């Protein structure tokens, strides 16, 4: 693999960039792998990457029915934060956030992680208490967050209207090392690194069946033939239920549409990420200058990657109220993704009823920020059979009544 | 120079000159001009700078597809960035400034990027700026952010208002060109309710520009006639300046009407967002001309052939004096002919097609004496801020220059692509039309509606038919077909308008000019003008394995600019196909997403802003609270007084005063927001036994009982006092937040599980005003009102009765959430204010004061009463709160019972409710956690509990708190540590949660 | 943006009047039920790509609950019907089969 650097770019410029090679090989499936990961989104690629990097398992294929990074990895609003309330969430999201800090250097690929800071606004007394609680928990969890006053909110984000009239800002939970990254680059960087370790990233390869013998997985069937494996990781977000069905088990998961939108690009006016859960909207400004905006999910099962317009209306209305200056900006594009939501809205990283099959799903609306941590933990789970980061996220928790409920502090949001 | 011609301008009203400024320079145009045509008329070809390289940018198009002509428009509360000059109608006093340059449009420091462009190919930023680690955030990113972005960020609050309209119709026709008009007329004649929208202020589209005749008349006359017919029909609604923005599921369409953008100083809303529900949608959205990819095709003066024709014919504006036309089709000859007719010079038409053509337009051009060079192409365009000439070559070659032709404008045409956006928004598929080299709607795979049938039909050029007579036939057929589908019938004999047929020679697909262009030429051949994506960038993406069209788009940013690739997408994916040596259909397209053209955020939001952002629910006493110093807090849509502040008092002081006063004298609380659900019927008792964890069927009429409600998942969701009214009637009080949700919860179980049970539920919350009369003087106050016996004997604790107080019919509940002697009194909502006034009057001598929610919280906390939302957070079960007494052992089943038998819920290590007292009397911080020894496997401190409620108690003059603690009830007296976020550690002793009047004597008097 | 027919009050209205509440025709398991049955009842969902039977409420209308058969891949609505039933009525099944000849109800 050719190392990327300013010097490499300069060298290539001299020969009109004719010397660049493929970022990842165009691999053909082999007969057998030590491990197969289904789904070449961020989580799947990260899982493969850490299988190789942390456990030396490199005879790995990552199968993708479409194009890599084409699901929610490439459709989200790129927010990265770890100011979660519950211990298991804070642990995995903070692991993830810390991996983002050095990801560009680890992967030799600029994923543009920008720790610009994230504020979660408190606009009701209930939220004030919830975020103060989170700040206390975070301090003990090793997550650096801070409860800040309305004046400080205004200082960090001058374009915000903190005076209401309906929901004046009462303060906020500030995570200075939260931020954003370039979503596509995360998938591409991992794919390039996996390929470099000798792994096969195989696009347009759809899994059509899962083969098990005596309760143990032996391989998968695909539109490009049968492929054998010892271990199988299912990392396909909204399509998890479908795959689980093939493997003969059910999941506590439903798939719904989540929408987002961007404005036309303008010059920099907002350096941080703001999330306003009471009014259901969040916004940041991309490096291109677009205001990147997201809101809530549709209430019904949906695989169309389209959502209902009234959610867009609600979100935009809330944000015009919070940031009056966006009123005359124009929405450039809206889109939808399919998110998989579990019974407690926290993810599942788990063994399954089939020996050798592991599942990683249920990230709901918050998957992007978790990519490296999720991959790190999932790789450990697959390699060693358990991980302290995944212990609490087993799918048996629903049977036990042991939930990881994050909505208690913050409502539901990214 | 571009300039205004002496003649022409079919859309202009030269009797109405208009003054405007561009970058502070005074300019003049006419009514009917767009800002684009007016700028050209004033010789202003260069209008901005590109996004990445800050290259000079001139106008390329004349409509919504324009990628370059974006300006900062207006000022202050009417300031709009990225306003497209081609869709901005000129008005008197318009102020525009070009964007993305410093210090000026002419001399832009950022243009250094263009010099460095060789070092900044597609995706360059993924390969560098990685070291040192902190540099991205602190050095590189700020520079990139500053140089990116386009328009300025608005500063002022928007002066304008916006509105939403609904419309319902049988057929929504989008696009008011001849196709849309024809389709609309056909559907209307068949009897359908038709709504026809057109994004510009003019009907007829571009057909009138291109000449020809329909039904033997000039196209303009045809448009006039069809319009007057449509206007005369009751079943037709016409809207100009209204764009079909997005097509959504089940025939939902958003249309964006710009009511005042052309006259910003007139009163009324600026924009109107139409939300149209149409049984069927006809998209007559026309087609867009494609640029050609040749070196220097981005230099100001290079323009789409059709746009140049529009400027001449519609606005009487010439783009240049000497225009070279370069084309792969017949259509662009119309431009050459128009220019010639306008008296302008056309030194050559470069036609990529190798063999001589003898079609009508070619013959006409030849007859006008224009030099036509077949098989020729542009090797490169000369000039920097303005075209000065073209070097020509053979299309088939690699770009060897045959000749240089001086000129100041280039008109290009790479063929036409139907506008398929609206067709595609909701899932309509496309097919590749090899003959016309474009993606057309796949009529077999339309977007499907609620019934699974297609609900969008295209008409005219949007279908991929471009000849005028084909357009009219297709549009008529679309109107007829749609009407028939909807069971309307077209009168016999109605047929499509007839146009003179102009035979055109076939187009030759050209994706690179010349065909074998060297890498150096490819580096100067633009695909996406605004985002600076060149042919070389797409080829680089392919070379590096970004072979999916989505990867290419994202890697190069092709089509991600504010024009969303209207001009660049097809050329881009054809380039990709070429680089991959595959065909265009197997590359496919990226997804078309709404809106067709950017729409204002404010228009999406509509009327609901400021004070009417969301509805406010007001109790009957709301106005009194407002007039008496209430500081409100939002509770759902309600506003509840947090405290009643007196002059000079802090909020905290007010709360302390209210608590003391209520404990010592008399307090009044507006409890009207509490949910009041009437549950009635022969099975009501049985039903409530399922809903509540305790037994409600055994409650005697006249009695009250505190009840808990759990979700089927076992968690505590609501609590409140239930009163049995009579044999088959119960009144259930819920929390404020629970009124609607618990009502829905009850209905859900009644309607979907126990539907054979005979029970009705009615939500009476807003029917009553409810006042809590609390404190040692409560009884005296009621006795002073008079009308009923409220003595301990007549109305004991946890009893209720109907009666009269001060002449008001009342229902009095003897219940207490404060530990004091307390009555909650319900009166008809309309009596609420008068009753409150009466209480205030009789209470005057008894020390009455109103109190708010914070006082309520402290009163209940002093008594160790739990509060839903404080002690519970959706993860807490009654067992955690020591509420076992409220879990009936006698019942086989209630909602949540099975869930609570699961292993984790029966776990003895669950944190349990206790009271907490700081060792030093201070107040524990809200939300603090208690720590145990050591850390867990993930390096987190082990936590053993948390604060759920914490207050300064004025009654005890110390901090009191409740919390959930590991093995808490077994650890009474133990002191545990709560680290604060302020660096201090708070030590608190585990105590009984009842801090005040443990025996309950005060409420029982 | 779904357009929905309420079988209770007969109104066809915008999705904004309604609220979806997940999979329909679940059997309630209460005290005494096995862990398997209870977990399945509360959490395990078919989440099919295709025909989905689901519960809706006409929340901002008549307030009544009803069932809907809908395709999650196209959002086509095969029909709405009474909430007071434990399985889809025959006419709904017929309509689904007419539109989706290959449809196999989830086991």
Judged by a CB distance cut-off of 8 A, whether residue C73 touches chain A is yes
Kindly state the average pLDDT of the residues A162-185: 94
Please write the tens of the pLDDT for every residue from B635-680: 889 999 999 999 999 999 999 999 999 999 999 999 999 999 999 9
Non-local (6+) Cβ contacts of B868 within 8 A are B716, B717, B718, B719, B735, B737, B738
Is B852:B644 a contact under the CB 8 Å cutoff?
yes
Overall average pLDDT of the A254-282 stretch: 94
Please answer yes or no on whether C42 and B250 come within 8 Å at the CB atom: no
Size of chain B in residues: 1005
CB-based contact A267:B149 (threshold 8 Å): yes
Tens-place pLDDT, residues B478-501: 999 999 999 999 999 999 999 988
pLDDT value of position C106: 60
SS (H, E, C) chain A: CCCCCHHHHHHHHHCCCCCCCCCCCCCCCCCEEEEEEECCCHHHHHHHHHHHHHHCCCCEEEECCCCCCCCHHHCCCCEECCCCCCHHHHHHHHHHHHHHHCHHHHHCCCCCCECCCEEEEECCHHHHHHHHHHHHHHHHHCCCCEEECHHHHHHHCCCCCCCCCCCCCCEEEEECCCEECCHHHHHHHHHHHHHHCCCEEECCCCEEEEEEECCEEEEEEECCEEEEEEEEEECCHHHHHHHHHHHCCCECEEEEEEEEEEECCECCCCCCEEEECCCCEEEEECCCCCEEEEEEEEEEECCCCCCCHHHHHHHHHHHHHHCHHHCCCEEEEEEEEEEEEECCCCCEEEECCCECEEEEECCCCCCHHHHHHHHHHHHHHHHHCCCCCCHHHCCCHHHHCCCCCCHHHHCCCC
> Scanning every residue of chain A, which has its alpha carbon at the shortest distance from the alpha carbon of B980?
A136
Question: Are β-strands B194-197 and B236-239 bridged in parallel, bridged antiparallel, or unpaired?
Answer: parallel
pLDDT at residue A377 is higher than 90: yes
pLDDT over 60 at B556, yes or no: yes
CB-based contact, B899 to chain C, within 8 Å: yes
| Candidate from C14, C40, C72 with C-beta closest to A301 | C72
Alpha carbons B428 and B406: distance in angstroms, whole number: 46
Cα(B33)–Cα(B880) distance, rounded to whole angstroms? 73
Chain B, residues 674-713, CB within 8 A of chain A, namely 713
Interface test with chain B among A13, A15, A17, by most B beta carbons within 10 Å: A17
C85 touches A at CB < 8 Å = no
The phi, psi pair for B658, rounded to 5°, reads -65, -40
pLDDT at residue B1 is higher than 80: no
Cα-flanking dihedrals φ and ψ of residue B663, to 5°?
-70, -35
Find the mean pLDDT for residues B567-583: 95
In words, the CATH class of domain C3-25+41-99 is alpha beta
Q: Which residues of B334-350 are buried (b: 16+ CB within 10 A; e: fewer)?
A: bbbbbbbebebebebbb
Q: Does B902 touch chain A (CB under 8 A)?
A: yes
Q: Do B133 and A104 touch (CB under 8 A)?
A: yes
Cβ neighbours of residue C39 closer than 8 Å, sequence gap 6 or more: A252, A398, A399
Q: Is the pLDDT of residue C107 over 80?
A: no
Shortest Cα distance, chain C CAs vs residue A150, angstroms: 34
The helix (H) or strand (E) run that includes residue B974 is none
Q: B581-601: per-residue pLDDT in tens?
A: 999 999 988 899 999 999 999
**Residue B521, SS3?**
helix
Say if residue A307's pLDDT is above 70: yes
Distance CA A403, CA C42 (A): 13
The whole-angstrom separation of Cα B950 and Cα A259 is 39
Start-to-end CA span in chain B (Å):
97
Rounded Cα distance, B79 and B76, in Å:
5
Conformational region of residue B375, where left means phi above 0, alpha means psi within -120 to 50, and beta covers everything else: left
Share of chain B above pLDDT 70, in %: 100
Torsion (CA) C11, C12, C15, C18 in degrees, nearest 10: 20
Cβ-Cβ contacts under 8 Å for B350 (sequence gap 6 or more)? B324, B325, B326, B327, B373, B376, B377, B378, B390, B392
Pairwise CA distance, residues B821 & B790, whole Å: 11
pTM as predicted: 0.96
Q: What is the mean pLDDT of residues B599-609?
A: 96
Confidence of residue B110 (pLDDT cuts 50, 70, 90): confident
Task: Report the neighbours of C using a cutoff of 3 or more CB pairs below 8 angstroms.
Answer: A, B
Contact B935, A142 (CB under 8 A): no
Cα B638 to chain centroid, rounded = 25
**Cβ-based contacts of C74 with chain A (< 8 Å):** 304
CA distance A287 to chain C (A): 32
Residues facing A37 on adjacent strands: A62, A233
Chain mean pLDDT for chain B? 96
- What are the residue ranges spanned by the domains of chain C? 3-25+41-99
**Residue A284 in this model has a pLDDT that exceeds 70:** yes
For residues B189-216, give the mean pLDDT.
96
The answer, yes or no, to whether residue B125 has pLDDT greater than 70, is: yes
Q: Which of C19, C39, C75 sits opposite A398 (nearest CB)?
A: C39
ipTM > 0.90 (yes/no) = yes
- Region A371-376: mean pLDDT is 98
Classify residue B212 as exposed, middle or buried by CB count within 10 Å of its CB (0-12, 13-18, 19+). Answer: middle
pLDDT at A356: 98
Residues A305, A310, A311: CA angle, nearest 5 degrees = 60
Q: Are A110 and B927 within 8 A, CB to CB? A: no
Contact flag A335-B591 (C-beta cutoff 8 Å): yes
Tens digits of per-residue pLDDT, A27-47?
999 999 999 999 999 999 999
Instruction: Inspect the interface and report whether the beta carbons of C72 and A302 lie closer than 8 Å.
Output: yes
Contact B897 C84 (CB under 8 A): no
User: Would you list the DSSP string of C30-85?
Assistant: -TT--HHHHHHHHT-B---SSEEEEEEE-TTTT--EEEEEEETTT--EEEEEESS-
In chain C, residues with a C-beta closer than 8 Å to the C-beta of A244 are none
The rounded distance, in Å, linking the Cα atoms of A348 and B151 is 44
Cis peptide bond prior to B514, omega within 30° of 0:
yes
B898 vs C contacts (CB less than 8 Å): 29-33, 38
What tokens does B184 get? 């609309």
Kindly indicate the confidence band of residue A413, based on its pLDDT and cuts at 50, 70 and 90: very low
Q: Which of C2, C35, C42 sits opposite B250 (nearest CB)?
A: C2
Overall average pLDDT of the B248-252 stretch: 96
Question: pLDDT tens, A327-371?
Answer: 999 999 999 999 999 999 999 999 999 999 999 999 998 899 999
Question: Could you tell me what percent of chain C has a pLDDT over 90?
Answer: 95
Instruction: Check if A64 contacts B (Cβ < 8 Å).
Output: no
**Does the pLDDT of residue A412 top 50, yes or no?**
no
Contacts of B899 in chain C (CB under 8 A): 38, 42
Rounded Cα–Cα distance for residues B938 and B961 (Å): 30
> Do the chains contact at C46 and A241, CB–CB below 8 Å?
yes
CB nearest to C43's CB, from A302, A304, A398:
A398
pLDDT at residue B254 greater than cutoff 70: yes
Residue A414: the pLDDT is: 38
Among B248, B598, B926, select the one facing A264 at the smallest CB separation: B598
B865 or B119, greater pLDDT = B865
Q: How many CB atoms lie within 10 A of CB B518?
A: 13
| Residues of chain C contacting residue B893, judged by C-beta atoms under 8 Å apart | 30-31
**pLDDT band for position B1004 (50/70/90)?**
confident
Judge contact between A230 and A215, C-beta under 8 A. no
Residue A411: band (very low, low, confident or very high) from pLDDT cuts 50, 70, 90 = very low
Q: For residue A409, what pLDDT is reported?
A: 56
Q: Is the peptide bond before B132 cis (omega within 30 degrees of 0)?
A: yes
Q: Check whether B313 has a pLDDT greater than 50.
A: yes
B902:C38 CB<8 A: yes
pLDDT of B885 over the 90 cut = yes
The CA-atom distances, in angstroms, between B660 and each of B508, B858, B860 are 90, 10, 13
Alpha-carbon dihedral sign for residues B716, B721, B725, B731: negative
CA of A82 to nearest chain B CA: how many angstroms apart? 14
According to the model, what pLDDT value does residue A187 have? 98
């Amino acid at each position: 693999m050719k190392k990327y650097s300013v010097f490499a770019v300069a060298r290539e410029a001299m020969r009109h960039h004719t010397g660049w090679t493929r970022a990842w090989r165009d691999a053909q499936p082999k007969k057998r792998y030590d491990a197969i990961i289904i789904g070449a989104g961020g989580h799947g690629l990260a899982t493969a990457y850490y299988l190789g990097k942390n456990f030396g398992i490199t005879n790995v294929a990552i199968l993708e029915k479409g194009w890599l990074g084409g699901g929610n990895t490439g459709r989200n609003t790129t927010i990265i934060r770890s100011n979660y309330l519950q211990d298991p969430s804070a642990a995995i999201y903070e692991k993830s956030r810390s991996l983002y800090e050095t990801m560009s250097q680890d992967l030799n690929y600029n994923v543009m992680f920008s720790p610009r800071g994230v504020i979660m606004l408190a606009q009701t007394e209930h939220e004030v208490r919830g975020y103060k609680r989170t700040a206390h928990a975070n301090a003990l969890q090793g997550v650096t967050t801070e409860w800040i006053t309305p004046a400080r909110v205004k200082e960090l984000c001058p374009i915000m209207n903190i005076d209401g009239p309906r929901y004046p800002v009462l303060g906020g939970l500030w995570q200075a090392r939260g931020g954003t990254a370039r979503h596509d680059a995360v998938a591409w960087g991992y794919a390039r690194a996996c390929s470099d370790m000798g792994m096969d990233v195989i696009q347009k390869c759809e899994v059509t069946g899962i083969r098990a013998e005596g309760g143990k997985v032996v391989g998968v069937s695909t539109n490009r033939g049968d492929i054998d494996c010892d271990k199988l990781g299912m990392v396909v977000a909204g399509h998890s239920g479908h795959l689980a069905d093939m493997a003969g088990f059910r999941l506590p998961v439903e798939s719904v549409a989540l929408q987002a939108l961007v404005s036309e690009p303008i010059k920099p006016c907002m350096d941080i990420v703001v999330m306003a859960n009471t009014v259901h909207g969040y916004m940041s400004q991309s490096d291109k200058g677009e205001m990147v905006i997201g809101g809530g999910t549709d209430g019904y099962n949906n695989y169309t990657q389209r959502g209902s317009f009234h959610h867009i209306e609600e979100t935009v209305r809330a944000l015009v109220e919070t940031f009056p200056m966006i009123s005359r900006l124009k929405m450039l594009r809206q889109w939808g993704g399919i998110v998989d939501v579990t019974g407690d809205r926290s993810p599942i990283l788990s063994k399954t009823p089939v020996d050798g099959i592991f599942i990683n799903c249920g990230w709901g609306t918050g998957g992007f920020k978790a990519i490296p941590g999720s991959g790190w933990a999932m790789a450990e789970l697959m390699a060693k059979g358990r991980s302290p980061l995944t212990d609490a996220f087993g799918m048996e928790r629903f049977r036990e009544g042991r939930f990881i409920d994050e909505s208690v502090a913050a409502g539901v949001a990214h | 120079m571009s300039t205004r011609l002496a003649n022409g301008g079919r859309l202009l009203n030269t009797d109405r000159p208009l003054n405007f400024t561009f970058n502070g320079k005074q300019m003049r145009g006419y009514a009917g001009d767009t800002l684009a045509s007016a700028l050209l008329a004033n010789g202003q070809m260069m209008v901005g700078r590109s996004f990445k390289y800050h290259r000079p940018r001139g106008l390329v198009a004349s409509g919504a597809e324009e990628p370059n002509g974006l300006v900062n428009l207006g000022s202050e509360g009417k300031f709009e960035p990225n306003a497209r000059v081609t869709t901005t109608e000129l008005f008197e006093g318009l102020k525009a400034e070009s964007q993305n340059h410093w210090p000026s449009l002419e001399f832009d420091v950022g243009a250094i990027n263009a010099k460095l462009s060789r070092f900044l190919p597609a995706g360059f930023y993924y390969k560098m700026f990685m070291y040192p680690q902190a540099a991205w955030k602190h050095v590189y990113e700020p520079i990139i952010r500053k140089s990116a972005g386009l328009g300025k960020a608005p500063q002022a609050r928007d002066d304008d208002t916006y509105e939403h309209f609904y419309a319902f119709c049988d057929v929504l026709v989008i696009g008011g060109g001849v196709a849309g008009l024809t389709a609309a007329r056909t559907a209307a004649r068949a009897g359908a309710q038709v709504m026809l929208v057109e994004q510009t202020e003019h009907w007829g589209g571009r057909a009138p520009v291109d000449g020809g005749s329909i039904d033997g008349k000039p196209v303009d006359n045809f448009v006039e006639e069809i319009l007057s017919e449509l206007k005369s029909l009751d079943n037709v609604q016409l809207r100009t300046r209204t764009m079909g923005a997005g097509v959504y599921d089940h025939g939902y369409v958003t249309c964006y009407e710009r009511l005042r953008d052309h006259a910003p100083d007139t009163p009324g809303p600026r924009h109107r967002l139409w939300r149209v529900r149409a049984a069927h949608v006809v998209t007559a959205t026309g087609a867009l001309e494609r640029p050609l990819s040749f070196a220097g095709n981005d230099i100001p003066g290079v323009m789409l052939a059709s746009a140049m024709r529009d400027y001449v014919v519609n606005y009487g504006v010439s783009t240049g004096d000497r225009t070279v036309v370069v084309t792969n089709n017949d259509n662009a000859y119309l431009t050459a002919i128009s220019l010639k007719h306008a008296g302008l010079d056309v030194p050559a038409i470069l036609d990529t097609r190798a063999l001589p053509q003898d079609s009508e337009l070619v013959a006409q051009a030849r007859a006008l004496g224009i030099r036509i060079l077949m098989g020729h192409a542009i090797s490169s365009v000369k000039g920097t801020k303005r075209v000065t000439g073209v070097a020509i070559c053979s299309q088939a070659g690699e770009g060897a220059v045959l000749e240089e032709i001086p000129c100041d404008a280039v008109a290009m045409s790479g063929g036409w692509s139907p506008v398929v956006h609206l067709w595609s928004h909701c899932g309509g598929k496309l097919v590749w039309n090899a003959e016309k080299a474009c993606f057309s709607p796949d009529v077999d795979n339309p977007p499907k509606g609620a019934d699974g049938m297609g609900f969008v039909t295209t008409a005219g050029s949007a279908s991929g038919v471009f000849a005028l007579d084909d357009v009219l036939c297709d549009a008529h057929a679309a109107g007829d077909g749609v009407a028939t589908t909807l069971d309307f019938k077209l009168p016999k004999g109605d047929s499509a308008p007839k146009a003179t047929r102009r035979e055109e020679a076939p187009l030759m697909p050209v994706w690179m000019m010349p065909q074998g262009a060297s890498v150096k030429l490819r580096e100067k051949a633009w695909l996406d003008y605004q985002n600076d994506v060149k042919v070389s960038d797409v080829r680089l993406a392919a070379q590096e394995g970004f072979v999916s069209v989505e990867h290419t788009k994202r890697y190069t940013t092709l089509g991600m600019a504010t024009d969303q690739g209207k001009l660049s997408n097809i050329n881009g994916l054809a380039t990709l196909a070429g680089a991959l040596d595959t065909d265009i259909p197997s590359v496919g397209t990226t997804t078309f997403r709404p809106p067709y053209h950017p729409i204002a955020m404010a228009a999406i939001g509509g009327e609901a802003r400021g004070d009417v952002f969301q509805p406010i629910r007001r109790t009957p006493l709301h106005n009194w609270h407002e007039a008496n110093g209430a500081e409100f807090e939002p509770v759902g849509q309600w506003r509840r007084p947090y405290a009643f502040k007196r002059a000079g008092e802090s909020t905290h002081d007010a709360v302390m005063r209210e608590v003391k006063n209520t404990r010592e004298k008399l307090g009044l609380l507006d409890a009207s927001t509490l949910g009041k659900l009437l549950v009635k019927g022969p099975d009501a008792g049985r039903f409530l036994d399922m809903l509540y964890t305790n037994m409600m069927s055994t409650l005697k009429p006249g009695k009250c009982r505190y009840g808990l409600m759990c979700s089927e998942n076992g968690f505590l969701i609501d609590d409140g006092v239930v009163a049995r009214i009579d044999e088959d009637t119960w009144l259930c009080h819920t929390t404020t937040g629970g009124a609607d949700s618990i009502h829905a919860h009850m209905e859900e179980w009644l309607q979907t599980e126990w539907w054979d049970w005979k029970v009705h539920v009615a939500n009476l919350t807003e029917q009553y005003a409810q006042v809590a009369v609390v404190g040692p003087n409560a009884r005296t106050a009621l006795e002073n009102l008079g009308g009923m016996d409220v003595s301990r004997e007549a109305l004991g604790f946890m009893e209720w009765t109907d009666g009269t107080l001060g002449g008001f019919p009342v229902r009095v509940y003897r219940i207490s959430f404060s530990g004091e002697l307390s009555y909650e009194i319900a009166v008809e909502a309309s009596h609420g204010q008068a009753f409150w006034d009466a209480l205030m009057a009789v209470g005057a001598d008894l020390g009455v004061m109103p109190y708010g929610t914070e006082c309520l919280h402290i009163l209940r906390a002093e008594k160790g009463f739990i509060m839903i939302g404080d002690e519970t957070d959706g993860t807490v079960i009654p067992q955690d709160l020591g509420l076992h007494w409220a879990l009936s052992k006698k019942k086989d089943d209630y909602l949540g019972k099975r869930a609570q038998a699961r292993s984790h819920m029966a776990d003895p290590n669950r944190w349990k409710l206790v009271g907490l007292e700081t060792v030093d009397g201070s107040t524990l911080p809200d939300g603090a956690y208690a720590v145990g020894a050591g850390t867990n496997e993930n390096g987190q401190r082990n936590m053993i509990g948390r604060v759920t409620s914490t207050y300064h108690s004025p009654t005890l003059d110390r901090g009191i708190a409740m919390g959930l603690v590991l093995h808490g009830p077994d650890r009474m007296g133990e002191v545990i540590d709560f680290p604060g976020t302020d660096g201090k550690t708070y030590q608190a002793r585990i105590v009984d949660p009842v801090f005040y009047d443990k025996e309950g004597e005060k409420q029982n008097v | 943006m779904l357009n929905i027919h309420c079988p209770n009050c007969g109104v066809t209205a915008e999705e904004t009047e309604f609220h979806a509440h997940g999979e329909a025709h679940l059997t309630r398991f209460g005290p005494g039920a096995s862990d398997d049955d209870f977990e399945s009842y509360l959490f395990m969902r078919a989440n099919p790509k295709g025909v989905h039977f689901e519960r809706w409420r006409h929340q901002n209308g008549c307030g009544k609950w009803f069932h809907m058969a809908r395709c999650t891949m196209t959002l086509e609505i095969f029909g709405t019907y009474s909430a007071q039933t434990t399985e889809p009525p025959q006419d709904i099944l017929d309509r689904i089969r007419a539109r989706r000849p290959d449809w196999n109800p989830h086991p």
